Amino acid sequence: MALDSKVPKGPINDKWTTYKDKIDLVNPANKRHIDIIVVGTGLAGGSAAATLAELGYNVKAFAYQDSPRRAHSIAAQGGINASKNYQGDGDSTYRLFYDTVKGGDYRSREANVHRLAEVSTNIIDQCVAQGVPFARDYGGLLDNRSFGGVLVSRTFYAKGQTGQQLLLGAYSAMNRQIARGKIEMFNRHEMLDVVKVDGKARGIIARNLITGEIERHSAHAVVIASGGYGNVYFLSTNAMGSNATAAWKIHKKGAYFANPCYTQIHPTCIPRSGDYQSKLTLMSESLRNDGRIWVPKNIEDVLAIREGSKKPTDLSEEERDYYLERRYPAFGNLVPRDVASRAAKERCDAGYGVNATGEAVYLDFESAITRYGIEQAKIHNIDNASEEKIYELGQAIVEAKYGNLFQMYEKIVDQNPYKTPMMIYPAVHYTMGGVWVDYNLMTTVEGLYCIGEANFSDHGANRLGASALMQGLADGYFVLPYTIGDYLSDDIRTGKISTDTKEFDEAEKEVSDRINFFVSNKGTKSVDYFHKKLGNIMWNKAGMSRNEEGLKEAIVDIKALREEFWKDVKVPGTAKEMNPELEKAGRVADFLELGELFAKDALDRNESCGGHFREESVELDGEQKGEAKRNDKDYAYVSAWEYKGEPSDAILHKEELEFKDIELKQRSYK
Ligand SMILES: Cc1cc2nc3c(=O)[nH]c(=O)nc-3n(C[C@H](O)[C@H](O)[C@H](O)COP(=O)(O)OP(=O)(O)OC[C@H]3O[C@@H](n4cnc5c(N)ncnc54)[C@H](O)[C@@H]3O)c2cc1C
């Protein structure tokens, strides 16, 4: 099947508007006869479900949590981008578009990113109208802060709880529709397959996670909004339940999977503490607005700190290496995540890591606290304020901005980050890869859509901070509701889709057979045993930096692990009850296939771009020496993989990327 991105013709500024003017619409009376399934009620799925129901469609929404409010989106801390230019610092639709394409290392589709920048401002208006309590400045206007990879302040935020507040907004919009009967909500239901009839997505098979019952649900179109697959690494900042099953199942039924190797390793996470850890914690990127990242200049100081004979606060300014400010003077501590993560790894690999495992750098707020303290002393007319007073005043400002994040850090690490610098290290955080979609957000299966982190669409090889929430809500509130209508306008005479057909019989049987296999396979090893092993392979051989030899080994190792899993996995309990081990088994089985495709994709892409760093592709000379080396001549394409059985048999389809409005350049943050 040829890949057609369906990008409308015409100048980039007009594409979306002209497209909306020309698409087919469904009249309100007909919408009442059309059903749409939305799998996932995080920010992407929640906003889509609410909007589609408001438009008049009958929506069935599914989530494996006990409430949409518990979707992983709730974890988002730092903020959401929009080019409102409230700061008057030169922001514009073009600049957001440009920053996002550049930030993604020129591996995203221009037309999609431009549309995202266009609708970004609507998102803020929508959310404010819902009552989302964005931070405001002294005069009562919406406040902004900066995130990495940009030179303007365009990030709207609600303390360190932006995702939670946005999700409450989407959830209230959903609840209105649930109360009206326009959304039927299926909490604690896991979609385990999609059902295709005559090549079109017409329903899903879901398991009721409380009773274990397998259910059939039909619709005229199916939307997947199931989040990202970062947990293929076992340890990540994602919620423990985040998984790839819905995306992987549709891949197996014909949806191409794009750029699986593009993973975001976030630079500011609390370092791993030991082998029994099951989760990593993010320290929001917003902290890089005020925190300065450093390691000691001298190795003797590193060793003294590790031994405990020196404290970081004992080191003078001259004894500290603020390596991001040194290497990237233009962006400093606000370089994009991929750049900051690799720079931390470089320092730690060189022996400068400051914790016992040598895998930590400092994120220090001392300068910011002092700077704010001096300003506050002036504002409050305190002459000759003592150092303590200045610190106290400054700390209050930092606390007001990031208090909940500091509290979280102290609870986990048992150190007071107002008094001693935080220790941070990169960790898996987000997946730019995902299900391939065209401009309409439709997958390669007709009537099957994919939105939010689950698709590959807008971030290229690296996502800029605060742009996942923007994309999820753009997809759900402002893009899908138009594009899906164009498709559904052909379905107004179709009538109810029956679930009593051979296609539903077959899909249900496949799901039941697999569940029955798990509960009857009396193996000896737990699901987590396999998940951890997979995570180790992924981190060591397909992690922050990758090479040909390691990737080839990863492919062999993952295949062998998968074979062992199917022989020896032990799933206690039965199928007809609430059984979290059974849920995990299905998810890890899918990760074991996805992981291999990931490594295969990374092997194919013999260039360094964004979150994908190939050791064979590094700048050897000049100002950029040591930086990642992109290869536009051979790799300016989206890799879209078609499922053919084993991951090793997957077929690569290339969507060549055209850059008409942005010039491809060396990505420099110096
Ligand atoms: C700690 C942390 C902080 C972050 N901070 C920011 C930030 O400040 N700004 C920013 O822009 N981004 C941030 N991100 C990224 C952002 O939060 C996510 O990319 C985004 O929330 C994903 O939203 P989503 O709706 O696509 O998926 P999710 O929120 O992951 O929702 C997935 C939904 O799908 C459902 N689901 C999944 N599989 C199935 C299935 N098989 N059957 C039924 N239901 C299923 C789940 O129940 C859930 O409802 C952060 C991420 C993390 C981990």
- For residue 146, report the phi and psi dihedrals to the nearest 5 degrees: -100, 150
Residue 310: pLDDT band with limits 50, 70, 90? very high
The whole-angstrom distance between residue 638's C-alpha and the CA centroid of its chain comes to 18
Residue at token pair 């981190």: 539
Q: What is the pLDDT of residue 148?
A: 83
CA–centroid distance, residue 632 to ligand 1 (Å): 31
Q: How many CB atoms lie within 10 A of CB 30?
A: 16
Is pLDDT above 90 for 159? no
Is pLDDT above 90 for 149? no
Per-residue H/E/C for 255-321: CCEECCCCEEEEEEECCCCCCCCCCCCECCHHHHHCCEEEEECCHHHHHHHHHCCCCHHHCCHHHEE
Q: What is the pLDDT of residue 669?
A: 81
Instruction: Give SS3 for 644.
Output: coil
* Per-residue model confidence as pLDDT tens digits over 423-460: 999 999 999 999 999 999 999 999 999 999 999 989 99
* Per-residue model confidence as pLDDT tens digits over 522-558: 899 999 999 999 999 999 999 999 999 999 999 999 9
Is pLDDT above 70 for 187? yes
CA–centroid distance, residue 333 to ligand 1 (Å): 26
Q: How many CB atoms lie within 10 A of CB 198?
A: 7
Closest-CA residue to 521 (of 589, 572, 580): 572
Is pLDDT above 70 for 313? yes
Q: What is the pLDDT of residue 625?
A: 87
Q: What is the average per-residue pLDDT within 476-503?
A: 97
Is pLDDT above 80 for 309? yes
Nearest ligand 1 atom to the CA of 79 is 8
CA–centroid distance, residue 74 to ligand 1 (Å): 8
User: Contacts for 184-187 with beta carbons within 8 Å, 24 or more apart?
Assistant: 184/58, 184/59, 184/60, 184/61, 185/41, 185/61, 185/63, 185/68, 186/60, 186/61, 186/62, 186/63, 186/217, 187/63, 187/65, 187/66, 187/67, 187/68
Q: What's the first-to-final CA gap in the chain, in angstroms?
A: 43
Nearest ligand 1 atom to the CA of 454 is 26
Nearest ligand 1 atom to the CA of 190 is 42
Closest-CA residue to 534 (of 579, 590, 586, 572): 590
Give, for ligand 1, the residue of 174, 453, 583 to mutate: max count of ligand atoms closer than 8 Å to Cβ.
453
CA–centroid distance, residue 453 to ligand 1 (Å): 7
Q: What is the average per-residue pLDDT within 468-495?
A: 97
CA–centroid distance, residue 390 to ligand 1 (Å): 40
Element housing 363 (H / E):
strand 361-364
Q: What is the average per-residue pLDDT within 12-24?
A: 96
* Per-residue model confidence as pLDDT tens digits over 552-604: 999 999 999 999 999 999 999 999 999 999 999 999 999 999 999 999 999 99
Task: Let me know: does 669 contact 335? Beta carbons within 8 Å.
Answer: yes
CA–centroid distance, residue 268 to ligand 1 (Å): 19
Among protein residues, the one with the nearest Cα to ligand 1's atom 10 is 466
Report the percentage of the chain scoring pLDDT > 90: 92
CA–centroid distance, residue 246 to ligand 1 (Å): 13
Among protein residues, the one with the nearest Cα to ligand 1's atom 27 is 227
Among protein residues, the one with the nearest Cα to ligand 1's atom 44 is 63
| DSSP bridge partners of 652 | 641
Q: What is the pLDDT of residue 454?
A: 98
* Per-residue model confidence as pLDDT tens digits over 189-221: 999 999 999 999 999 999 999 999 999 999 999
C-alpha distances out from residue 268 to 292, 423, 628, Å = 11, 9, 20
Q: What is the average per-residue pLDDT within 354-375?
A: 96
Nearest ligand 1 atom to the CA of 453 is 26
C-alpha distances out from residue 330 to 327, 337, 361, Å = 9, 15, 21
Task: Give the single-character DSSP code of 456.
Answer: -
Among protein residues, the one with the nearest Cα to ligand 1's atom 30 is 227
Q: What is the pLDDT of residue 2?
A: 65
* Per-residue model confidence as pLDDT tens digits over 266-289: 999 999 888 888 899 999 888 998
* Per-residue model confidence as pLDDT tens digits over 284-297: 888 998 999 999 99
Task: Let me know: does 499 contact 216? Beta carbons within 8 Å.
Answer: yes
CA–centroid distance, residue 454 to ligand 1 (Å): 9
Nearest ligand 1 atom to the CA of 44 is 25
Give, for ligand 1, the residue of 467, 469, 480 to mutate: max count of ligand atoms closer than 8 Å to Cβ.
469
Alpha-carbon span 6 to 12, nearest angstrom = 14
- For residue 442, report the phi and psi dihedrals to the nearest 5 degrees: -95, 140
Alpha-carbon span 636 to 621, nearest angstrom = 23
CA–centroid distance, residue 403 to ligand 1 (Å): 23
CA–centroid distance, residue 257 to ligand 1 (Å): 18
Which residues have CB under 6 Å of ligand 1?
39-45, 62-65, 71-73, 75-80, 162-163, 189-191, 225-228, 237-238, 242, 245-246, 282, 429-430, 452-454, 466-469, 472
Q: What is the pLDDT of residue 560?
A: 98
Task: Let me know: does 102 contact 430? Beta carbons within 8 Å.
Answer: no
Is pLDDT above 90 for 133? yes
CA–centroid distance, residue 75 to ligand 1 (Å): 8
Left, alpha or beta for 10 (phi > 0: left; psi -120 to 50: alpha)? Answer: left
Nearest ligand 1 atom to the CA of 249 is 41
Give, for ligand 1, the residue of 38, 60, 73, 280 to mutate: max count of ligand atoms closer than 8 Å to Cβ.
73
Among protein residues, the one with the nearest Cα to ligand 1's atom 51 is 76
Q: What is the DSSP string of 165-229?
A: HHHHHHHHHHHHHHHHTSEEEETTEEEEEEEEETTEEEEEEEEETTT--EEEEE-SEEEE-----
CA–centroid distance, residue 71 to ligand 1 (Å): 6
Task: Let me know: does 247 contact 450? Beta carbons within 8 Å.
Answer: yes
Alpha-carbon span 347 to 295, nearest angstrom = 8
Residue 1: pLDDT band with limits 50, 70, 90? low
Nearest ligand 1 atom to the CA of 285 is 8
Closest-CA residue to 668 (of 629, 611, 633): 629
Among protein residues, the one with the nearest Cα to ligand 1's atom 33 is 40
Give the angle subtended at the CA of 466 by the CAs of 460 and 469, to the nearest 5°: 85
* Per-residue model confidence as pLDDT tens digits over 35-70: 999 999 999 999 999 999 999 999 999 999 999 999
Nearest ligand 1 atom to the CA of 45 is 25
Closest-CA residue to 74 (of 191, 170, 153): 170
CA–centroid distance, residue 73 to ligand 1 (Å): 4
CA–centroid distance, residue 167 to ligand 1 (Å): 10
Joined tokens for residue 633: 């001549």
Residue 520: pLDDT band with limits 50, 70, 90? very high
